Amino acid sequence: MQENNTTHQWSANLTLNEAVKYSGTLKTNLLVTIFVDNRTSIQASSSPKTTNRTARENFEILLEKPHINISWIKAHVGYFGNEAAASLAKAAAESNDVQLDIKLPKCHAKNILRKDIMKEWQSEWDEEDKGRSTFNIFPKVSLELETWNRADVLFFTGHGPFPSYLHRFNLANSPLCSCVEIGTPIHYATSYLFTTSRHMKLPKPSLEQKWYRGVPSNHLSSGRIRGIINRIPHRSFLSQTGPVKPQIHQLLNQGSNQFFSIRKPSSATSTFSSASHPVKTNEKV
């Protein structure tokens, strides 16, 4: 028996196969009933769509020999024939004298390949020196998709309109924001001046990694992240084509006041003439 074949799998498939083949060699047209305590083996041997080699062989014999029937029987309730067959099958499976080659089921082979692929993928992800910001959020690889929008990707990867990121590629003169602090994503989410209404509590340095892992799964925090991305200056230049470096440099030199400037009323609209707006007094004329 192969290492990947369990005793239950080996005994259920092989016992039924041997019983069906033996019944097919009998030169009789009398009804032959084979009692089996494994429903899975019965269903596989009765299905024309089965891909298991042993079950397919059983199906073909049963199709040619309609007088052979398979019936389910409850296991471990004291049926002498069933208990004896189970004991002999287990002894044969654990014996080294019996040499049988049973191919793995396709589903089992897929599971083995999937485990090997995931193990190799995880090893490469652990040893990689890039994408560490994403690694802090997703340390374990998975085949499940994460429903992140554009704002989530920009914030949690750090590859967004942040001065600390733009400065790495010489797209900004300084990594500092208008608050004269390092313009990192966590700074914009916790202490940036123009995102006060969407601030979250600043985590301790030792808990920063857990903070990054917990925020994506929180709907309220994710909504705040989207609002923060929409309030960061220079965000419009990320979607433009062509060189953006001169534009960003010019805006950084001018400061961020022009992005959030408050319009003051002009003198023409703020002054009132005495002719058009006479002042009422209590004095009698």
Structure tokens at 195: 């995102």
- Residues in contact with 162: Cβ distance below 8 Å, sequence separation at least 6, in sequence order: 183, 184, 185, 188, 232
Q: What is the dihedral of CA 209, 211, 213, 218, to 10 degrees?
A: 180
- Report helix, strand or coil for 221: helix
pLDDT of the residue at 171: 87
What pLDDT sits at residue 28?
A: 82
Cβ within 8 Å of residue 19, ≥6 positions away: 34
Report the predicted TM-score, pTM, of the whole model to 2 decimal places.
0.51
Q: Which residues contact 86 (CB under 8 A, 6 or more apart)?
A: 11, 37, 75
Per-residue pLDDT tens for 161-171? 889 989 988 88
Low-confidence ranges of the chain (pLDDT < 50): 1-7, 235-245, 247-285
Q: What is the CATH number of domain 8-94?
A: 3.30.420.10
Q: Where are the domains of the chain?
A: 8-94, 103-143, 145-240+247-254
Residue 98 is predicted with a pLDDT of: 65
